[in-house]
Structures are given as structure tokens and as C-alpha cells.
Chain A
Amino acid sequence: MKRWLWPLVIFLVLAVFLGVGLTLNPREVPSPLIGKPAPPFQLPQLHDPEKTFSQKDMAGKVWLLNVWASWCGPCREEHPIWVDLAKTNVVPIYGLNYKDKRSDSMAWLQRYGDPYVLSASDLKGSIGIDYGVYGVPETYVIDKQGIIRFKQIGPVTPAVLKEKILPLIAKLNGNA
């Protein structure tokens, strides 16, 4: 009779996971990187691959790093938020174009608007690993000393922007 019990066992394991899943919020993630220096990188720029961009270029500024890709549905969902934010000039937004094709990402930006000062191309996703990118989109707030102060996994909502990101940026800019 034992082998006939396997379907039941597998189902129960699944049910336990679903039960645990109910207690979790799929959009909220703590990150071990918070409070640590942003991992170094030097990547070609999306629009001008001859030039590079490095996190060092941003020393002394509070900035946003948004990991995005043209194949990512949720990126489109959050994108209008960045387009609007870019117009306010509150904070410079830099893109990390993650595991994407250059032509696809350029077309995507042209279609949906380009809020980024520039985007760095992480075609192979290797910098994404350093940054612990779980899923796209992800957004980091990095302070003047190059320390990651906030990380959002999944799309940023208007609420997160208003209640967490904007106050944090105001605070970081005010302190120095």
C-alpha cells in the first residue's frame, strides 16, 4: 500500500508550502545588502556602449538604481512611476538593464519613455548576481557614500515611493 500513499504525501507537502505562503507577503523582502557598500561594477552604457558607467561615478550623490528588462512584465507596470519621478528631478535614476538584448531594450525605452539618466547593460546578468537580484524589477537607493540604504524587490508602487523612497531620499540629502 505504501506506493499508493505517495500522491498523498506529495500533496500534503505542497499544501504545507501553500499554507506557509499565506503568511508571507510576496512583495516584501529584507536584503542583506542594506547598509553595505554597493557592489562595484563597470559596465557599458546602453545607449553608447563605447562609454562605461560605474557606481564610483555617483560618489557624493544620492541616486536610484533600477534593475529592469524589456522582457519583464512588472517593469512595465512600475515604469510610469519612474517616468513621472524623472520629470521632478528629485533624484537621478540610473537603470541596470538586466539580461536583455540591446535592440529590445532600446525599443522598449522608446515605447514607454526613458526616465533614466543612463542605463548600464548587464547583458549576462553577472552584476545582477553581485547585487543579489532575485527578480526583475528591483530598485536600490544608494547614498552619497555609496551605501545601499533601501531595496525594493518587484515593482515599486506609488505607496512605496511616497512612503518609503521619497522620505528616505529627502533624509539622505538633508543629512550631508
Chain B
Amino acid sequence: MVPELGQFALILALILAVAQGTLPLIGAARGVAPWMGLARPAAQGQFVFVAIAFGCLTYSFVNNDFSVLYVASNSNTTLPLQYRIAAVWGGHEGSLLLWVLMLTLWTMAVSVFSDRLPDDIVSRVLGVLGLISVGFLCFMLFTSNPFDRLLPAAMDGRDLNPLLQDPGMVFHPPMLYMGYVGFSVAFAFAIAALLSGRLDATWARWSRPWTTLAWMFLTLGIALGSWWAYYELGWGGWWFWDPVENASFMPWLMGTALIHSLAVTEKRGAFKSWTVLLAIFAFALSLLGTFLVRSGVITSVHAFATDPKRGIFILAFLVIVIGGSLILFAWRAHRVGLGGRFDRVSRESFLLLNNVMLVVATGSVLLGTLYPLFLDALGLGKISVGPPYFDTVFVALMAPALFLMGVGPLARWKQASLPELATRLKWAFAVAVVGALLLPLTMGKWTPLATFGFLLALWIVASSVTTLWSRLKQTPAAGLGAKLRTQSRSYYGMLLAHVGVAVFVVGVTMVKSYEAEKDVRLAVGEAVELGGYAFRLDALNEVTGPNYRAMRGTLTVTRDGAAVRTMYPEKRIYNVQKNAMTEAAIDTGFTRDLYVSLGEPVGNNAWLVRVQVKPFVDWIWGGCVLMALGGLLSVLDRRYRVAVRARAEAVAAAGTAAAG
């Protein structure tokens, strides 16, 4: 009964989505107010029905209803409750339902927080979101129905993949999808602007907080995924350039370009058509990611079970949505005009350069991800593109962008002077160079890579401090506290996000340059030394979990004779799917992680054990959290909450505002 209710709710949601995707758009084009008025209730009703469907599927999981095929394939009676709930998005169908739930959630949020927007814009934005929803609901109902019955019902389920039985599974996909799907709002605003022909600073101001919010979720989602891979896959890597990781990373890069470009459009009215294009691309890459994961064109550890029908459906959808948008773009964008003019050396030009580099970096990741497919399609053979390509190309492309991060915020809008910038930044640069030369020495080994990484990180921090300092000097308020308080939240948000990048760079640099690892055969009572730590294997015990059996090692870690930590790495065998899983034991610290994992048994109560010391590895994710917090701060800026006055006034104000 409950699954049928869920299915019925999905069908009702589809009907509402069709209404939401057609009438308000026509109403906006023809100026029919009642049709436009449909947009909000339809969006909210759609959310309610999708939420009901989601609730029904969750109910089936929680109550172990194995007459539902999807539940039987992804759950088991012995699966703990929290993973039965997370299993809702553990497979293709359910994760698609999560996708749609997120989409309707964003749509509803737009419908609620858009009082100040003109009716025609709201109708268009919600209309576009409704059309996207139509596509995904059809996709689900026609090719991937999570409520399909299995008759006769299975006695027990096939269980959730053990890799996914982890707290990471509870948080990572919802966070990631919030980000992914959130770019649909930026996309819808861009399309609404193209449709209405009103592509101006106000449009940028409306769509900016939504874009930043989506970017924030995506940042957290990717970071969570990376952290999860780090501790769950059991060998201590944190990024693999897997096609599916790339699929989430490309929208992030494009989204990063987009939020910077939106800043210029809002403040200076420039880059308008470019910003629209980025908004389309960011969402296109989100859709492309969905296609890559679910169609089977690319081999990846993340890929869902594949079905060519699904691939064709998503591809057709992709072509209609993105192809249609780009036709609209070609038709309308040339009328937009160029907006404010700017000098070759100005904050605009620096941001443009940053944009170009981010887009090129996205392109290089896209190329690397799809290159095997291109060659295959052309009959030129099969290849795989690995981390060596991505590491080389990506670092080379991002280094200049990171350098510009120090310069951009200090440069004036419209026209800046290079000699003046050089004067203002000389101390920051000096600090960065000296620090970069000395810091690697404190780690005991000098490498060019470490120096380069420190140079970039220190440069970003030092130039951010310089920027803040010079801005405070120009602030008329009395006293440092008052001066600090007058700066806008979005300004602090920018600084925080940039410092986050620096923290991230430090993490990557330290790990890449100074991580140490050893694979050793350890019998009970034996010890191994690494990086100043002694790891002694004290015991090996068999333990039984709710749905697995495991061998658990007990290792005592000491440093100079003093106990640091007792660690319990496990090798688990899950009862249903019989997969062996390495559960690494990690001692997390501010300046280093200790990482111990069990390899294989080698007889006589001995195991192959891998011990690793990873300096500053948590800074990688810490940096991402700072970036996300920076995004959050910007969204909380007062100007988004203060009522927007007449458009003309806003545009005029934008011309003089200096905030970043």
C-alpha cells in the first residue's frame, strides 16, 4: 500500500510540475497574471508530493518491505537503522528520487524567498525549474521507478554495498546533491533573464546568493566525499581523479568561476553574457555528471548498474535542456550589450583572467574524463587517463589562478595600476617568499614542490591580510573594532574562502611532500617505527558486528616512549555480500594523522600492516570547510536581506559600491 501511495504521489508531482513548467512561462510571456500566480502554489505542492514519495520509500526501507524490488536490492534485515535510511539513496532509483527531492526543495525555497522579485521573473524562474523537474520525474517514472514491486517478495534483501555502510553515506550524497542540483536555480535565473531580456545588475544580485549557497553545499559535499574515501577505502588516498569525482568537481570549478563572474555583473554590470553562459555550463556539467554516472559510458568505481535506456533518456534530456538554452543564448545574448568598460589592468580584468583559468581547468578535467570516450568513439582505440595527467595539467593551470587570488581583491574596479599594486603587495610577496624557503626546512627536507606550495599558500594569506589592512585604513570609523565591524559580511566571506584555499594548499603540499608509509609484516608483540612514532601490535582478535565479522588489531602507538593512542584497525567480512572491507584506524591530529590499516594475514598470527603518517592532511578538508563558511558568510550579507529598492537605484548604487 505504502509504495503505491509513493508512486501516486510521484505522478501527482509530475502533473504539478507540468503545470508549473508551462502556464507560468506562457503567463509571463503574455502578461496573464493568474497564470503566473500558479507558479508558487504548484512549486510548493510539488515539493509536498515528492517529499511524500520520499517518505514512502524511506518507510519501506525502515520496515524492511522486500516486496519492493529496490528495497530488496539495497537493504537487509540485519542492516542497522541509520544505514537502512541512507540506503534510500544507495542505488540508482532512490538517488534519483533524492535528486528530485533536492530540486523541489530548492524550487520551494525560491518560491518562498522571492517576495521582492517581480512576478514575471519569479514565474519564469519557477517555470524553468518546473520543466527540469518534469524531465527528472518522467525519467524516474518511465525508466527507474523506485516503487516497482517484486512478487513474490524476497525473504531478505541483498544488502547495501558494505562500502556504503558508513556515516559518510548518510551525509555525503544529500550534501553533494544539494550543491549539484542547486546550480539549477542559477541556471533558471539565467534562462529567466534571457527570456525576459532583462539581463542586468539586479538579475545578478538576485541569483548570487542562490549560486553561492549551491556552491557552498557542493564544496562541503565534495569535501565529505573525499574525506570518506580517505578513511573508508583503507589506503589513505583522498582524491583519485575518478570520472565520477571529476563529474562533481567540474560543476564546482565552473560554479567557482560563476560566483566570481556574478560579482562583476552585480557590481559593474559587465560580463553579463559570459555570466549567463557560465550559469548554463555549471548546470550542464551537473547534468553531464548525472549522465556519466548512470549511463555506463565511462568505467568507474562509482558507476551505478547501467541500462542503455537510461543513458539515452538522460542524453536526450541533456540535449533538450542545454541545447535549448544555448540556442536561446545565441538568440538573445548578443542584444545584452557589454556593460561597464574597464581597463586592461583592473579588478574586472583580473576576475576575467581568473574566470578564463577556471574554465580552462574545467575543460582540461572534462577532456581527461572524456578522452577515453572520444578516442573510442572515433575508433582510435582505448585508453585510460590517470592521475599523472590530471595532477600535471591541473596544478599548472591552477597555480596562476591562485597567484591572482592575491592580486584581484586589492585591485581597483575599472582601472588599476600595476606599479601601485606591486608596491602595496611587496611585503606580502616578501613574506611569502621567505616563508616558503624556510618552512620546508622545519620539516627536515627541502623540496621544490613544498616550497612552491607554501609560496602560494603564504601569498594568499599575506595578500589577504594586506587587502584587509588597506581596506581598514580607508574606513572612516574610529578604532579598530569599529572599522572591522563596518566591513560587510560578504567581504569577510571572500577573505575566509580565500584563506580556506590557502589552508587547502598547505594540506595538499604537506601530504604530497612529507607523508610517510610503511608496509610491514607484524606478528603480535612486534613493532614498527615511522616518522618518530612506534606502532606495536598488541593483539589480534575476532570480533562480530551487527552484520559482519572482523579481525581487529590492537596497536599501541608511542612517541619517545610516551603513549599516544591505541588504535583498532579492522578487516571486515560482511555476511550478505561477502566483501572484505578494510576499516582503517585513524588518529586525527591538527598537524598529522596516523593511519593504520590491516592488509592480508600472512600466517602465524601475523598480518601485513600498513602504517602511514600524514602531516596536515586534515587541513585539506579544513580548507574546504573554510571555503564553505566563506560562502555562507557572503549569503548572510545584509544587502540580500534589505529590501531592494527601485531597480534604477540599485544599478546606480552598484556602480559606486566597492565591496568585493
Contact = CB atoms under 8 A, between A and B. Distances in A.
Interface of A: 1, 4-5, 7-8, 11-12, 14-15, 17-22, 24, 26-27, 29, 71-74, 77, 107, 110-113, 132, 134-136, 153-154
Nearest to B608: A111
Contacts of A135: 372, 382-384, 386
Most chain-A Cβ atoms within 10 A of its Cβ — which of B297, B301, B322, B519?
B297
Contacts of A22: 295-297, 308, 311-312, 315
B404 to A, nearest CB: 24
B574 to A, nearest CB: 16
Contacts of B472: none
B284 interface: yes
B527 interface: no
A111 B519 contact: yes
B384 A134 contact: yes
B258 to A, nearest CB: 14
Given A107-B519, A110-B608, A113-B600, A71 B373 contact: no
A4 B386 contact: no
Contacts of A134: 381-384
B315 A19 contact: yes
Given A19-B315, A21-B297, A154-B299, A26 B610 contact: no
Given A15-B318, A134-B384, A26 B376 contact: yes
Contacts of B383: 134-135
Given A11-B323, A22-B297, 7 more contacts: A4-B333, A14-B370, A17-B374, A21-B373, A26-B297, A74-B384, A134-B381
B178 to A, nearest CB: 26
A112 B312 CA distance: 39
Most chain-B Cβ atoms within 10 A of its Cβ — which of A5, A26, A74?
A26
A71 B386 contact: yes
21 contacts: A4-B331, A4-B333, A5-B330, A7-B330, A8-B323, A15-B318, A17-B377, A18-B291, A19-B315, A20-B377, A21-B295, A24-B373, A24-B377, A26-B373, A26-B376, A73-B240, A77-B301, A111-B600, A111-B608, A112-B600, A136-B386
Contacts of B295: 18, 21-22
Nearest to A29: B382
Contacts of B297: 18, 21-22, 24, 26
A136 B386 CA distance: 9
Closest 9 CB pairs of A and B: A135-B384, A8-B326, A21-B297, A20-B377, A4-B330, A21-B373, A134-B383, A5-B330, A22-B311
B485 interface: no
A24 B331 CA distance: 35
A61 to B, nearest CB: 28
Contact of A21 (B242, B301, B377, B610): B377
Contact of A1 (B240, B330, B374, B599): B330
Most chain-B Cβ atoms within 10 A of its Cβ — which of A1, A21, A27, A72?
A21
Contact of A4 (B315, B318, B334, B370): B334
Interface string B316-356: 00110011001101110110000000000000000000000
A18 B315 contact: yes
A112 B381 contact: no
Contacts of B372: 26, 135
B298 interface: yes
Contact of A8 (B327, B374, B384, B387): B327
Contacts of B87: none
Contacts of B519: 107, 110-111
Interface in B475-517: none
Contacts of B242: 73
B561 interface: no
Contacts of A5: 330
Contacts, number: 109
A89 B173 CA distance: 44
Contacts of A132: 381
Q: For the complex, would chain B's binding face be called helix, strand, loop or mixed by DSSP majority?
A: helix
B388 interface: yes
A1 B370 CA distance: 29
Interface in B254-278: 273, 277
Number of chain B interface residues as a range: 35 or more
A112 B599 contact: yes
B603 to A, nearest CB: 13
A71 B519 CA distance: 16
A14 B318 CA distance: 11
A63 B374 CA distance: 33
Contacts of B323: 8, 11-12, 15
A27 to B, nearest CB: 6
B370 to A, nearest CB: 7
A72 B387 CA distance: 9
B188 to A, nearest CB: 18
B648 to A, nearest CB: 28
Nearest to B297: A21
B393 to A, nearest CB: 16
Nearest to B385: A135
Contacts of B370: 14, 17
A117 B274 CA distance: 59
A4 B301 CA distance: 38
Nearest to A69: B386
Contacts of B333: 4
Contacts of A153: 382
Contacts of A26: 296-299, 372-373, 376, 382
B328 to A, nearest CB: 10
A60 B308 CA distance: 44
Interface in B367-413: 370, 372-374, 376-377, 381-384, 386-388
B278 to A, nearest CB: 10
A18 B600 CA distance: 41
A21 B295 CA distance: 9
A136 B384 contact: yes
Nearest to A23: B308
Contacts of B240: 73
Contacts of B298: 21, 26
Interface string B596-624: 00011000000010100000000000000
Contacts of B374: 17
A117 to B, nearest CB: 20
B610 A111 contact: yes
Contacts of A1: 330-331, 334
B376 A21 contact: yes
Contacts of B373: 17-18, 21, 24, 26
Contacts of B280: 7
Contacts of B610: 111
B571 to A, nearest CB: 13
A17 B388 CA distance: 24
Contacts of B312: 22
B595 to A, nearest CB: 14
Given A4-B333, A26-B373, A11 B291 contact: no
Nearest to A108: B519
Contacts of A107: 519
A132 to B, nearest CB: 8
Contacts of A14: 370
A160 B568 CA distance: 37
Given A17-B373, A135-B372, A72 B382 contact: no
A29 B299 CA distance: 14
Contact of B284 (A11, A19, A71, A74): A11
Nearest to A106: B519
